[in-house]
Structure 1
């Protein structure tokens, strides 16, 4: 189990209020909702950064001594441009079955436990700025972008040059994706037209990089797993020992996605989150961390949870929600970030995520409409 504690870091001052020690779970599927600037992306970026530190040390790319320096800490946070959030009162703890990382008083400590059982993941942060790859040429040379975005662009460049991209089908309007090597452009094809991504709608410019990068890593890991069928963890660890460090074997995927709904019509939001859930279910160790503003994302996930609950009880829920797109309630964590605090929004009594933190605005809008209607007809008009 992965747990995180955050206090006095940027917009998050009080941290998680649902436990005495301030720790909250990062499950197979973890969602963060909240208004702009509340800190949900800050949480996702901290998780991604510390997850990377865990991997870097345990696979031998960094030593514990190297990461326990103020310079490393500042560089780590500046990678996601959250270094200004660090102050003398900041406290961040990250703990898994293999490490304990503590950030306190501008110092970082790293301790290992059961490190010999660590299985390396592929870690990818999909930033909200990902739509830039569809509209900017020679993107890797843009110096003003955060380091994290520049790295994402390099990853994307590797992905679109891979064989896996050709003839992929986007789960939105079933458009075929083709990489035109001569023009060095991604093209979207339907029965009626072909359009370059840089000329496509903004929703496609956001969804295509998300889809391609996720699909690439899921397919790559799945392909490698089929080629190398290990009997147990010890056998896999022995294999990893003889690998060249530059040919790291990643066994599962940690996918951190900012706003999967970005620029998408509600039905397309449903399709993209179902794709992400299907990808998550390719491996029991996979993790999907999402920040979102969308009630459609939450309601689609709630349907997937409900379907999984009914499927366990013997109902044919997969006739409505495919089994690959279902998710067990116990594998989900969901939080709202607001007023410097993190609260769980899971409703254990009904085994659903409470959508009111996002969709409460609809109630307010409807209430105003009712009052306006009452005003019009109160005088018998």
Structure 2
């Protein structure tokens, strides 16, 4: 299992009491603002990107073992300042040194004050991923008429804009959004996105903040999940110029090798092709609930799970402070359990009923889900489950319960007035 260990890094102080945070196929981080949810997600994104780059041969591991290279990757997410800046001649710093480590499918990474220690492992089970980090400020890409003309300072936003440009060109006429039956339409002549409702059409940059937030999230997720699945006519995402050159050079080297038989050459080229083919989609999403009504939060969460389920190797990592996101995950887990029982009992006539509650494609196996809560002290707490369902004993539900208690107190005060 993939794991990460983080301590004394930015808002993450004590970290997880068992040290290693298990990362399952679906991982959720909940907590208050500024507690470190996004910090953890950004570190995970960084290590998974480094793992992919080393495995594919983009860089040797020695490159990332240099502290400057690691800082550069952290700066992509604006978190490099959490590392101590200076050390004395003996490598000692005046600040508390972070404890950071990652155990991946293909590499293990350990942070030390002077460099990273990276150990490569057998790559038999490693699926080359398409990784996207979808930041909370994504609505900026919808709120202005021409985001390409603006100098963006956020690297994740720049990357997301690039994928958004690719995604909208793959819309065939219209694309149905998961909210309010709205359609999304792309005008290639004007290079603009439009929302199409019942009897009206409006430019996305004039739309509500909820749609401005959800359209980039949904459109990029839809596009990348289908690219990895190979559902578009363009098949999988084409290689970059550098990737293409390295692939051709490697093929030429195989073909020139006189010690290889034709069968071995075919096998070597097949293995090489797999090395350059993305077969998994890792979707890392900040606050999918942003600017959305509770029912719409459920709708977008159902869509994220649908595209997560599209390919076997996909992963979904979410940060949230919405109880509605957590409640939908509980429904999705329960739905998966009910689907299994119905299928085992041969009661197919009941499938349509449950499909109307939680679609089969949005159901989630409880074994693939883990939820962590980060408190205001920088401690990471793993939520328990009850009969496979996420526990309702968490910060988000406690706040709802506290609201009920306060309301009862107001009623008591009102009774005294009478």
> TM-score when scaled to structure 2?
0.83
Alignment of 1:301 onto 2:298 = no
Establish whether residue 31 from structure 1 lines up as the match of residue 39 from structure 2.
Answer: no
The 1:135/1:320 distance shift into structure 2, 3 A limit, reads closer
What is the total number of aligned residue pairs between the two structures?
Answer: 367
Aligned-residue offset at 1:9: 0.5
| Aligned twin of 1:53 | 50
| Distance 1:142-1:111 versus aligned 2 partners, 3 A rule | farther
CA distance in 2, matches of 1:129, 1:180: 24
Counterpart for residue 121 of structure 2: 113
**Alpha-carbon deviation of 1:363?**
1.5
From the superposition, tell whether residues 171 and 224 of structure 1 become closer, same or farther in structure 2 (CA, over 3 Å).
closer
Aligned-partner SS, 2:230: helix
Query: 181, 184, 187: which one pairs with 2:188?
Result: 181
- Asked if 1:254 corresponds to 2:282, the answer is yes
Whether 2:403 is the aligned partner of 1:365: answer: yes
**Equivalent residue number for residue 328 of structure 1:** 365
2:365 & 2:207 partners in 1: Cα distance?
36
What residue number does 1:232 align with?
A: none
Match of 1:94 in 2: 102
SS in structure 1 of the partner of residue 34 of structure 2: coil
Give the distance between the partners of 2:43 and 2:172, measured in 1 at CA: 30
1:203-218 aligned within 5 A: 203-218=210-225
Aligned in 2, Cα 1:224/1:308: closer, same or farther, shift over 3 Å? closer
Alignment of 1:221 with 2:231, yes or no, is no
Residue 185 (structure 1) shift: 1.1
Alignment RMSD, CA only?
2.3
Map Cα deviations across residues 290-343 of structure 1 (whole Å, 9 max, x no partner): 001111111011011111122333374445322111101111010001111110
Q: Check 1:104–1:255 CA distance in 2 against 1; reply closer, same or farther (3 A cut).
A: same
Q: Cα deviation per residue 1:115-162 (whole Å; 9 max; x = unaligned)?
A: 3543211001111011011112442454452222222212212222x2
Q: Indicate if the aligned counterparts of 1:14 and 1:340 stay in contact, CA closer than 8 A.
A: yes
Task: Return 5+ residue gaps in structure 1 as ranges.
Answer: 229-234
- Distance between the aligned counterparts of 1:42 and 1:218, measured in 2? 24
1:78 paired with 2:75, answer yes
Provide the residue aligned with 1:127 in structure 2. 135
Structure with larger Rg: 2
Offset at residue 237 of structure 1 (A): 7.9
Deviations along 1:85-118, whole A, 9 cap, x unmatched?
A: 1125112111123110111225212111113543
Rate the CA distance shift 1:299–1:355 in 2: closer, same or farther, 3 A. Answer: farther
Q: Which residue of 1 aligns with 2:257?
A: none
Instruction: Spell out, residue by residue over 1:255-314, the C-alpha distance to the aligned partner (whole angstroms, 9 max, x if none).
Output: 000000000011100000000111111122110000011111110110111111223333
Q: Distance in 1 between matches of 2:399 and 2:273?
A: 56
1:174, CA displacement in angstroms?
1.6
Who is 2:14 aligned against?
14
Distance change in 2, residues 1:285/1:225 (3 Å): farther
How far 1:254 sits from its partner (Å)?
A: 0.3
Summarize the Cα distance change of 1:318–1:49 in structure 2 as closer, same or farther, 3 Å threshold.
Answer: same
Alignment of 1:119-198 (within 5 A): 119-143=127-151, 145-160=153-168, 162-164=169-171, 166-198=173-205
Q: Does the 8 Å contact 1:203/1:263 carry over to 2?
A: yes
Inter-CA distance 54–361: structure 2 relative to 1 (3 Å threshold): same
Does residue 65 of structure 2 align to residue 68 of structure 1? yes
Conservation of the 8 A alpha-carbon contact between 1:311 and 1:318:
no
**TM-score, length-scaled by structure 1:** 0.90
Mapped partners of 2:219, 2:393: distance in 1: 29
User: Does the 8 Å CA contact 1:135/1:199 hold for their aligned counterparts?
Assistant: yes
